Structure 1
Amino acid sequence: MFQESPIYDRLIAERGDVPAQTRREAERVNRELEYVMRPLRSSASFAPADRQAAPGAGWQRTALLPGSLPH
């Protein structure tokens, strides 16, 4: 797909494969976030039917227009 690039090969030899390291780190962070967020997703299914919150309720706040105050 790509032609040989001696400059890139030399940079990898000198500095390491930064794109591959970055990709691995991003995948690790993604796995951790999925693990941390999993309990929040499943806890809503255990709430009684009459106690389930409406979509969007909870920790999220609604946006206010500039200059408007909540009532």
Structure 2
Amino acid sequence: MTSHPPAKDHLPVYDGLVRERGDVVAEVREVAERTLDQARRALAGDPGARRERAPR
């Protein structure tokens, strides 16, 4: 019996961790995108680009 690697979009170990702990990778990506947007606006002189507080 030959073992085949999992499909790229199906990673059982990762899926289990996401169910247990949450999707940390997606959360970090979202924070990074917000931070980049704020930095761009601040560098452009947007006075509304003040730091947002992270939700708790």
Structure 1 stretches of 4+ with a deviation exceeding 4 A read: none
Unaligned runs of 5+ in 2: 1-6, 46-56
TM-score (structure 1 length as normaliser):
0.49
Compare CA radii of gyration and give the structure with the larger one. 1
TM-score (structure 2 length as normaliser):
0.61
Two-structure CA RMSD over aligned residues (Å):
1.5
Aligned to 2:27: 21
Once the two structures are TM-superposed, the CA of residue 7 in structure 1 deviates from its matched residue by: 1.1
Aligned to 2:18: 12
1:3–1:25 distance in 2 versus 1, CA, 3 Å: closer
Q: Could you tell me how far apart the structure 2 residues matched to 1:16 and 1:31 are? A: 24
- Count how many residue pairs are aligned between Structure 1 and Structure 2: 39
The percent of aligned pairs where both chains have the same amino acid is 36
